Structure 1
């Protein structure tokens, strides 16, 4: 049961009447002694924490820190740099402009209550606030005591509470992050592309969706695609200002932003710039919008669309505080940009992340069409269905299939949350979609639900450019109407493959 306003005041969260320090301390001690349950003194090990998380996902299909026991949550906080993230406000108040009343009181009450508990018995008061957001209703604090978690969970205005510094995936893999990263490039088989004017390579996958035929009607001009990922390579001129208008690509722009803080230190705010160090973000930007070049390299779907790149994470798995914070910031900033119509996110996590969920809702509230990868399996996440944030109602989930019918690619996730599919893997050779590489003059192959998502974002840009006055829902409905299964949905593959030509006619 949540605390009443009076109990909240007695915890010294918000003082509106005159009372003594002794009375406040006495009330707080009574609360902790009477209402907080006893728990083990020692935290669980990371292996024990992961076992509980995995068992929950396997049995119920999902996991939420808000539903975890006090002991499990506290253990994860201890093993996650002591970072506790709190979403505040009334139910559904993901960001400040949603609320009909001032929610700042909730935040201040929680920070004050947590500070009282964390600093109890210490000679000098320590700062516990790590970060707060000026738009999203979320803040982060440093927590050492389980009593803090127990008290916060009883307070009015709590939407969620999470161990955002805990690295479930890295611990399970027993390795550092790096999922989906590759900058090496590849030599393309001649059967995997064809050449068109002015000397650009068309990936074999484009012919599965009639993309080149759609170019007779639209090339994406005037539409901005924000790719929230690992950034753009500074070594690939065709995705930077010097080459974004190469060949038949003209009159468009590329903008690069870095919002990822490459640091284990939660208080750090120093981003490491917009340049890709992983390769994944470069591949996704290339799939969506690489220029129709004259350099004998792969072209992207919407080769005249504007490209807005965010380096928001170090790899595709959003494991850890700084990656989650970076993606949330990118979503909020992209949501505010008038030059962004479409957001493409080929990144994700096995279960929900509160601050990113808030940020997705913020961008969605700004009218953005958001595509997200349905999931690409690793050795231990094959039991997960459509991953977060693709499983949100505000996001359009996309996955990849092979070229032999509706057979999901070997490592792609599917399920009822999937909206569209993209052919991106050959059955006989296993070759994926050709894309522009990380370095100058380089080709590459890329697959999974990642490239399927970026491809779909590019097709959406073709439709929106053909109909610039349309709303998000009109564009989405046109994509659905052009897909194989419309007006029905397949249980695993949604509306199926989009016919880009039908979508722009």
Structure 2
């Protein structure tokens, strides 16, 4: 596409006095002449894809104001504004002038959006310097991007995957191999080992010496937060029978932050129950009890679990899913009992509100594991996905059962990866046995999703063995117990973790 340059002319200079007696400043009231029509969704997606295909990460700050405005128009004019004195000023509790900055930004918007008859503010976050507003004019976005107290301006409800899938109704292009589904499987006897009292240990656990590590720790006293699609009410081992067999003295708690509504102002969540199965699988891999029911056990079978239904599925496509994830991270960040957060979901480009939520939790001492990416060839060109690529998270991917490192058939890899988990069998291509959505049933789940939850479970084993440690000490021990330490591999990070070495 040929870029067109718009002309910005100064109409007036307005002088405003700061309420905090700061030095007066001037702000331009701007207009855009010869305004172009909005880009189509196809044009917007093509520009995003061009970044990813060239090995870059897409942030909305990279877009022109015209492209940003076009995406805002396609997303019902909903905009997220992150504000602060600098890039690290995102926490309201640590920001002395959050209210003043927010007021100034809203006054700026009102000066441009003079013909708006409905409320401008849709949402004001109680923990982060973040608001969601309605904006109709390209000039407003340009003014916000120039404002000294604005960290980012992003379309809050631009549905990339919905638009990318248009024209291909017969293809399930955005569904990953570890996405939604209510299936169950008869497990091959080659894929598990039965241990007391009658639990099945997945084959992949042995590749990481997890059963050997159980002689020293089983995760007791550590709480893992799983941000995903919730827990199935029909899987008793992740509900009322969470303490059964050799699992005891722990708790499972369920919360919901996902709002199933087309209306951005809706606040009523659709509950805590998993309507997808992905969240149940991930919680199972990390914490399923060492049961006597002949079903798969989790890595940290004596750890506590706090489950958040933050999204309807694994693709964070749209306002309520992205806000649901952000709210889950801030809620878990505010809990002193939660040590570890695991999320096996993501996006192919940066979402400012999720970054803020992750950073909020990270600053409160949480060790955060995120999936490096699982998909078909439709998005495999992306490399490591968001938020696994940001420095506040630990990125994990899956590899095949082999003597050399080969990423699984649907897994992403890249320089941001920190650890790998072996999760795809060499001969059968079977993945990892987990609890199914339904009671007394099991299934296979793969991809970087299961790799991430497995790694979170290993972290719980390490932390339970060393309860006075900080997250940095736990992470360092995990790195030291991995195959490539101290030199990271360019695609697979520190490689395979030896859980036994990590807890010794």
TM-score, scaled relative to structure 2: 0.92
Distance in 2 between the 1:299 and 1:58 partners? 39
Q: Which position in structure 2 is the counterpart of 1:344?
A: 342
Which runs of no fewer than 5 residues in structure 2 stay unpaired? 1-11
Is 2:230 aligned against 1:231? yes
Distance in 2 between the 1:478 and 1:183 partners? 37
1:118/1:296 CA distance change after superposition, 3 Å = same
Distance in 1 between the 2:205 and 2:443 partners? 16
Q: Which position in structure 2 is the counterpart of 1:127?
A: 119
Distance in 1 between the 2:225 and 2:196 partners? 27
Q: Which position in structure 2 is the counterpart of 1:96?
A: 92
After the TM superposition, which residues 94-493 of structure 1 pair with which residues of structure 2 at under 5 Å, given as runs?
94-99=90-95, 101-120=96-115, 125-174=117-166, 180-240=179-239, 242-404=240-402, 405-493=404-492
Distance in 1 between the 2:335 and 2:477 partners? 24
Distance in 1 between the 2:469 and 2:443 partners? 35
Distance in 1 between the 2:192 and 2:140 partners? 59
> Quick check: 1:8–1:155 contact (8 Å CA) kept in 2?
no
**Shift of residue 381, structure 1, vs aligned partner:** 1.1
**Shift of residue 380, structure 1, vs aligned partner:** 2.2
> Quick check: 1:36–1:150 contact (8 Å CA) kept in 2?
no
**Shift of residue 59, structure 1, vs aligned partner:** 2.7
Distance in 2 between the 1:161 and 1:97 partners? 21
1:220/1:8 CA distance change after superposition, 3 Å = farther
**Shift of residue 501, structure 1, vs aligned partner:** 0.7
* Structure 1 counterpart SS, 2:381: coil
Q: Which position in structure 2 is the counterpart of 1:24?
A: none
Distance in 1 between the 2:340 and 2:223 partners? 6
> Quick check: 1:8–1:109 contact (8 Å CA) kept in 2?
no
**Shift of residue 39, structure 1, vs aligned partner:** 5.2
RMSD: 1.9
Which runs of no fewer than 5 residues in structure 1 stay unpaired? 1-5, 18-26
> Quick check: 1:132–1:139 contact (8 Å CA) kept in 2?
yes
Distance in 1 between the 2:336 and 2:350 partners? 28
Q: Which position in structure 2 is the counterpart of 1:74?
A: 69
Q: Residues 159-208 of structure 1: CA distance to partner in whole angstroms, max 9, x if unpaired?
A: 00101200112211236976511111211111111111111111000110
Q: Which structure has the highest strand share of the two?
A: 2
Distance in 1 between the 2:159 and 2:447 partners? 23
Q: Which position in structure 2 is the counterpart of 1:64?
A: 59
Distance in 2 between the 1:457 and 1:396 partners? 10
**Shift of residue 146, structure 1, vs aligned partner:** 1.4
Distance in 2 between the 1:182 and 1:77 partners? 32
1:203/1:54 CA distance change after superposition, 3 Å = same
Matched residues, number? 480
**Shift of residue 57, structure 1, vs aligned partner:** 2.3
> Quick check: 1:160–1:354 contact (8 Å CA) kept in 2?
yes
Distance in 2 between the 1:408 and 1:326 partners? 30
* Structure 2 counterpart SS, 1:383: helix
Q: Residues 461-502 of structure 1: CA distance to partner in whole angstroms, max 9, x if unpaired?
A: 001001111111111111111111112211111111111111
TM-score, scaled relative to structure 1: 0.92
